[in-house]
Amino acid sequence: MPTAQAVEFRGDARLGHYSRQVEFQGAFLGQTAGETNNDEQVINLQLKATADEFNDSKDRFIFDFRDKRDGFGKLERENLLLSNYERRQLRLAAYQRPWESNRTYFTVGRFTLPEANIVANDGAEFGYRTSKASRYGAFAGQGAKDIIAPLYVDPETRVIPTTQFGAYYNYETKDTPDDSSYLTNAVAQAPTYDITDSESHLYYYQQGLFTIGGLHRIGSLVHFDFSPKASLRRGYVSYYYQTERLRAGGYVNQTTTEDYLIKQVIQDVLVPSAVRTIDLDLRYRVSQAFSVDASASQGTRTADGKVRTEFTGGLLFPKVLGDTSSTRLQLGVRQNFLSKDNFTKIAYDYWGKTVSVGVAYTLSNETYDDGTINKRTILMLDAGIFVLEDVRGSLGYEMESDSKVKANALFVMFGYRFGTSATSPRTRPARFEEM
């Protein structure tokens, strides 16, 4: 006799507001273009929902809609223009038979596929789970043009070959919190989603994260293109060792020109470039009263060979202003790509049952190759509110000032979780983890 099924429905809604006022100081780029500021005022809306338990296979329907509106737009390097901007996106709308509870699984509709680094696919995925930890899958479809085109780039102005297909192998175990493994390998063809490169690429993608015995943590990422030319798009490998008193490790990271371009501020006059970074850091708990921090990093631009090196040292004092708080002092020197810098940072963090607060203040002096001296101050505040079980809030504020720019930014977001049933820690993120 068939079992009666009760469909369960759950989800969360999030509303966020971000505003940023930027005023250029002196005869700077914004003024020469006819603009004296680069203000932003963004409203974000997201609605996620899942309906499942349709049958004994635990099939489910997943949905994710987002709306982003910028009342000022963004000062683009290409056209130096401020204009209204809005993008509505249906990020997920798919029927899914989950791999967690089925040997043969599938997804049909619009979905993401992190196993192959696919942001959005209109099509289908089919797979087979050979054991509790291992599974194989293949997918095909079309990339959603309004999603794969970067923000602030009009999708209608992009000529993008949207066909996507590929196959992957995934391995995942979570025996205990101290012993877990995740590894995915994929070969696929898809557009890059990058700003300046809209070609279709045949690539290999690998991502791994391994925690061994609670002491060792190893991470890796490889994104290698076979065509249109053989090249390493992104690469990352890290190792960290952690005991009760010591945490030490580091990473090597290779980025692309696109990564530099996305993060580049308008004051930066350098040509966008791929950067290779080596980073080492250490924290040692001397006693219950304080710990010692030290770190060193070096980044090299491939476009011109310019090097950035940084050395920092600091002290961490737990429970200075409360049992669930910490205070941190840090000093550093930096040989930047175009300047020699020194900086001081003080930070305080508090964690409570209903609220968490973090405050950080940084003062830096930058001496450029042409003799120009720039003093920069940055104040950052972030907070989380957890007053109600199903309502969460986030707050962030940043104030930055130097000889070229004055900027203030405020971010506020509220989220509400609705529906029935508890979430599974194995198959879904913890409640509001993504906020």
Place of tokens 């898809």: 190
User: Contact at 8 Å (CB) between 20 and 60?
Assistant: no
Poorest-pLDDT segment among 20-34, 285-299, 377-391: 20-34
Reply yes or no on whether the pLDDT at 422 is more than 50.
Answer: no
pLDDT at 37: 61
Question: For position 31, what pLDDT does the model report?
Answer: 45
pLDDT given at position 267: 64
More confident: 66 or 27: 66
Average pLDDT over residues 48-64: 92
Q: Provide the pLDDT confidence category of residue 321 given band limits of 50, 70 and 90.
A: confident
- What is the rounded distance in angstroms from the CA atom of residue 112 to the CA atom of residue 147? 11
What is the per-residue pLDDT across 354-382, written as a single tens digit (0 to 9) for each?
889 999 999 999 998 888 898 999 999 99
pLDDT at 319: 82
The answer to whether residue 299 scores a pLDDT higher than 90 is: yes
pLDDT tens-digit map of 205-228: 999 999 988 899 999 999 999 999
CA separation for the pair 431, 13 (Å, rounded): 12
Give every CB contact of residue 196 below 8 A, 6+ residues apart in sequence.
257, 258, 261
pLDDT band of residue 262 (cuts 50, 70, 90) is confident
Omega prior to 228 cis, within 30 of 0: yes
3-state DSSP call for residue 34?
coil
Q: How many CB atoms lie within 10 A of CB 294?
A: 14
**pLDDT category, 23, cuts 50, 70, 90?**
confident
pLDDT at 98 over 80: yes
pLDDT of the residue at 196:
75
H helix or E strand, kind and range, residue 29:
helix 29-32
Mean of pLDDT values over 157-178: 86
Tokens of 298: 């070096």
Which of the residue ranges 3-7, 186-190, 238-242, 281-285 would you say has the lowest mean pLDDT?
3-7
**pLDDT, position 105:** 97
From 344, 399, 335, select the one nearest 367 (Cα to Cα): 335
Q: Residue 261: its pLDDT value, please?
A: 81
Task: Name the band, by pLDDT with cuts 50, 70 and 90, for residue 5.
Answer: low
Residue, of 270 and 383, whose pLDDT is higher: 383
Measure the N-to-C terminal CA separation of the chain; round to a whole number of Å. Answer: 43
* Beta carbons within 8 Å of 295's beta carbon, 6+ residues apart: 279, 280, 281, 282, 310, 311, 312, 313
Q: Which CATH number among 2.40.160.10, 1.10.260.40, 3.90.700.10, 3.40.50.300 corresponds to the domain 8-73+179-419? A: 2.40.160.10
Domain chopping of the chain, boundaries: 8-73+179-419
How many angstroms separate the CA atoms of 271 and 243, rounded? 42
Work out the pLDDT band at 176, boundaries 50, 70, 90.
confident
Q: Is residue 165 within 8 Å of 142, Cβ to Cβ?
A: no
Buried b (16+ CB within 10 A) or exposed e, 9-38: ebbbebebebbbebebeeebbbeeeebebb
Tell me the pLDDT of the chain averaged across its residues.
85
Q: Are 23 and 40 in contact (CB under 8 A)?
A: no
Using an 8 Å Cβ cutoff, are 238 and 249 in contact? Answer: yes
Q: Strand, helix or coil at 272?
A: coil
